[in-house]
Chain A
């Protein structure tokens, strides 16, 4: 058994993992220039393998560079580091006083890797957009859209059928047992800009012939990558609705549009909209006041703050909270951060994070730091005490 572990425990392997990790991190940083940070996190840092294009090392303004190499992704390297560490301690484990530091450090690193693993798989992030005076009980995932079809015919409860983004972007004919009509997605735009009748480019006019948005046109644009301040994709789609074989009309749906469109089928009203994917919560937040202070005589923000009323019947909570920069609200395993705001300061955007492993990094880093201080302390202090020769 030990013989099997020996090669896995070698320091040579450690050094190679470090070197490969450095290259991966460097490439993953450069790749962010042209791909969105979320794409990069998924393809570089949370993947088994990544295809690194040579183009990322050369600015596009300088020239096109073909070719790419396959490289171990963050997940592979993380697991390799994990195995290497465990194996090293299994093979060479000797509890000596002067090794306490090393053992603590490595234990902390293992915990750190576990923490990142937990975050990668279990953390959920979303946004809560609230206008002043409004009460909101759902979180939006701004990285994913859904097509919501709302039937309000029951006075007690709305019936909401939502079709996830992967279905919209991959399948071109969508049917659902709850729906009397079929949806044919004629065009999916991952990121788009929506123009009014006067500004829309001629080749994009008239793609939709029915619905409240038929006068507008959506134009595909590059995927947002956090450059130039834009880091959220605005998906849009063109779709044709069929009632059996009868064509109802073609529609433009877009996350950009704030109102759902009315479609009447067989005497029944359906409100349809493309919106960011919602998760409903058992608590509500009401925005009482949003403040956006500037430094005197400048346009530079000094502070953003949201005064909210937190209401959660199930937990017997009903209180006012002030959320501002570096002062989040923690409630029900979730944390609410001041993230952004609506135009003209009409409302706030809170980032809502649920990360069951959020404490792990704190713990592991304390252990690593302690371990390093002990380790280097044991070795350095006598060296420094020695009289200069």
Chain B
């Protein structure tokens, strides 16, 4: 029986790694005679960053339809993002009937003259008649301050912005296809150059590339109607493939570094490491919960196997997440945290470290369970933050400093992680203490000791991170402390941690007090992480979304109800923390 404790977690670990890496070693090829596999790796420039066309296509489709592929109707195959994109860029007539525009708001549907009974995605042809009115409504809405807009105004603005992105992609306004050459050091717009200087070699090549796809598509129709032969089609497709190769060669010659980066980014787009990691966290959570339950049932071997499995799943998720983060660092040439999206990923990643570390020192399995809860939660948050575009966008000029991004931002994010971890461990303490008899005096004490240790760590990190931010501020605009919303948020975290420590040292609180205050720390951290960005004031007011506000409020309410649960008199807790009475008398 003992061997299963050792072997099963290893098997699960290997399976998990295979699951997460299958798309890296067996990349999804796009079937068919067109060489779209090379086409999607061609580097272009969009929003100031050099990236493969694959990323442009995925982000575009994601932004417009909320998905990375188009589901086939009536048994047709799904359309991948790259197929959708090249169709849109070269043969618009066909692409205009693809149902890609996601519209949910009933008034916007009415405005566009649509019936949203059975679906939420519509084609350009279905909404084009209402385009003028949509733009008029969007202009009205944009004249209202962001915070004062009603749901209709927000929805119509989103639709107008999607339409404009769609037009930009179909008219080739973005991305820029022409790589830098001997004369120009920057990427150039294909459409501008072909209009101004039709003889430009780079522009001609891209023109041929795009035209050859359209010609081949037309040839397909001709073959179907018997006007052309299969050989003609093969020749047309062959020509397209040779143009793809030619463009790829030119970029390889001029920007040799970008070829590997593009290839890697396409692999990352497919493998979606953060999606795999979140799936692994869910499995780890389940294994951990069953492990805890079986501990209660005194099924020792089973519970140890399950907890071991949980640990190996958390480790696997952590490795996958690490690889994803490293890939982002390499692709972007930046430290790991550059925006809210990456901060969410980083918080989950660091919590996995803390969790695994805690489990090494206290074999309750709570570290892993909480790491998987936070890991999954933060990846969901990141997923929602990243759904509207490129998550590796360029940085505002003032943030353009790798040194401070690597120090201040990373340290403060670790501070968030640690404060969250202390809060979540406290939630575990509360739930186990109130609803189960899993905790006794000894275990309760050692759990609180862990919470206390994490709070000490969090205090140091959040203080150092805040101070480094102050030094950055002093360097870039001459003010060490400006009482900016985000700065204040960071200060709140420091104060919260200090308050817990001093209250403990002063004997004002004991174990339960630490636990309840640490849960309050969750509220403070969530506030300064996201809430301060939602105020729309100050230097850090980016990434404001209404739905984020709703979830923040929900989170705060959930933590408040946990705290009120924690105030329940001890006699109602199922775990008993007092010393056994007999022992007390004998002392």
Contact = CB atoms under 8 A, between A and B. Distances in A.
Interface string A30-42: 1011000100110
Interface in B528-576: 532, 535-538
B330 interface: no
Contacts of A388: 360-363
Q: Report the interface size class on chain A.
A: 35 or more
Interface stretch (A136-144, A245-253, A312-320, A354-362): A354-362
Interface string A330-370: 00000101010000000000010101001001100100110
Contacts of B360: 388
B579 interface: no
Contacts of A296: 45, 48, 176, 186-187
A37 B483 contact: yes
Interface of B: 45-49, 145, 147-148, 174-176, 186-187, 189, 360-363, 394, 396-398, 400-401, 404, 449, 453, 456-457, 459-460, 463-464, 467, 470-472, 474-485, 488-489, 491-492, 495-496, 498-499, 502-503, 505-508, 524, 527, 532, 535-538
B506 A369 contact: no
Contacts of B503: 11, 15
Nearest to B362: A388
Nearest to B496: A22
B427 to A, nearest CB: 21
Main DSSP-derived SS at the B contact region = helix
B463 A368 contact: yes
A30 B145 CA distance: 18
A21 B496 CA distance: 10
Contact of A358 (B362, B474, B527): B474
Interface in A138-175: none
B476 A337 contact: yes
B481 A353 contact: no
26 contacts: A11-B503, A12-B508, A15-B502, A22-B492, A22-B495, A22-B499, A29-B489, A30-B535, A32-B538, A41-B483, A125-B479, A294-B48, A295-B48, A296-B186, A297-B45, A297-B174, A298-B48, A300-B47, A301-B397, A302-B48, A303-B397, A326-B472, A326-B475, A353-B477, A361-B481, A372-B463
Interface stretch (A202-210, A222-230, A268-276, A279-287): A222-230
Interface of A: 10-12, 14-15, 18-19, 21-22, 25-26, 28-30, 32-33, 37, 40-41, 44-45, 59, 61, 115-116, 119, 125, 225-228, 294-298, 300-304, 325-326, 328, 335, 337, 339, 351, 353, 355, 358, 361-362, 365, 368-369, 372-373, 376, 379-380, 383-384, 388
Nearest to A120: B481
Contact of B394 (A61, A300, A373): A300
A227 B361 CA distance: 49
B483 A40 contact: yes
Nearest to B539: A226
Contacts of B46: 297
A96 B452 CA distance: 23
A91 to B, nearest CB: 13
A61 B537 contact: no
Among A297, A300, A368, residue most surrounded by chain B Cβ atoms (within 10 Å): A297
